[in-house]
Chains A and B, each alone.
Chain A
Amino acid sequence: MRSYVPAFEMEAPRDLASALSRLSAEPGAWKPFAGGTDLMVLLEAGKLTPGKYLSIWQLPELRGIEFASDRVTLGALTTYTQVRRDPVLAAEFPLLCRAASETGSIATQNRGTLGGNIANGSPAADSPPALLVYDAELELISSQGSRWIPYNIFHTGYKQSVLQPNELIARIRLQRNKQNWKQHYHKVGTRRAQAISKVCFAGVAEMENGQIKDARIAFGSIKPTPFRATATEAVLRGAKLSLSLILSAREALAREIAPIDDIRSTSRYRSVVAQNLLAEFLEKLSA
């Protein structure tokens, strides 16, 4: 334990209203703390800023999965385990379930939350690529009220977002409109379990007579934020599947990503593999 634990305060409000008023009363003083799967690791390493942490893990209002005919709404505290175990999500949002099942271990999945995964803002997080291709929307809530935003504008830079200091992520909304789209997820990690992604791919495509009518492509670990490859999507949209499409899509992708070297992998590896995963997706579409 590299941190001086007495320098960390924590409170656990009973309900959402109290939590939000705590956040509003001293803007920026309190940092939300959900399942601890990221923040406790930083604490162990001596890399967590001492100060005040607001436990939100116990807030009932941020839990639960609701189904409407056209959409699914997940409380921000929905754990990976809850995502994995849900039969509707498994049938309609398999990429999210794959992401949940490939994040950390069972013990991590029992504590890690979708909201935390988003708010933490790691470019290597596993669920954001899936959420991006499902056109997820986020409800951001404060004591002043709530607002819905498209998830693809949430991250603004490395570990930076539009979330205000007095706000929490409350819910994540997914439209139930992609069941008939072809879907593909491939996380390339350092090993088969408990791996942080080196490149993570999520892709969905609506097919019509061998043509890609519409598509969403997203990646983790190749940009400072989870990344939706819109330029590559533009190349795909309306195109017929062919080898030349694969080649031009690869080129488009190479132009819009800029992966880095770090202790887990290299820029070159990430770039080549990102293109290969895109090609794998396109080949599966034609299969």
Chain B
Amino acid sequence: MSGTELGLAISVFLACAVEAVEAVTIVLAVGHTRSWRSSFTGVGVALLVLAALTAALGPALTALPINVLRVVVGGLLLIFGLQWLRKAILRASGLKALHDEDEAFAHESAAARAAGAVDPTQFDPYSFTISFKGVLLEGLEVVFIVLTFGANQHNVPLAAAAAGVAVLAVILAGVAVHAPLTRVPENTLKFAVGVMLTSFGTFWGAEGAGAHWPGGDAALLVIIPVTLVVALAMVWLLRRRRAEGRATAAPEVAARA
């Protein structure tokens, strides 16, 4: 396995694990509160739709000329990666609430209870719909990442395998603990995924647009750490700015009191 393929596998695994954790929380909340059978049916149908999308779009993407593919995929990965990274930086610096699976579980459970009583022997459309939507929406991001990374490296099977292992690991963990996976360092993983998507997007986008990287694929070994360091520097700057803002505000509040 080449370095780029290893990077592909790690990026896809981390991204899919994060999305799977969020989907598992939704399914656990609805299944636990209302109907496991209907929830699992929703999960099954959503997985079928996602598999069909992957099967339909995968060959279409890989049929594109390599430079067109790299510009399109690099551009999309960059837009996606920069959004992930921006949110991760804001979370790490305290400007945005951290994603909390316990809170998400409580919120979904409360909504499921508020939807009214359910007969456990009957099909429950609420459980089906919420589980279907949750898995489909989180899964779409997984499909996008698998297809873009896989098509670019002409190795969709490797990307799909990394995604499959991640989803399976999260499902097994969810079944084992039978509760939201709060111990998964989700916010740190999102930070890492943002860095990886942004770095690969920069690399492939530039190549597709006609640039030649000094050192070829080895340029990624510089792009990834530089992106990480810049993102961490932004977190540090924002934390310092917040701390200074609080220090300035505290005497003003005291003076007003």
A and B physically associate: no
Q: Which A residues fall within an 8 A CB radius of B? A: none
Q: Which B residues fall within an 8 A CB radius of A? A: none
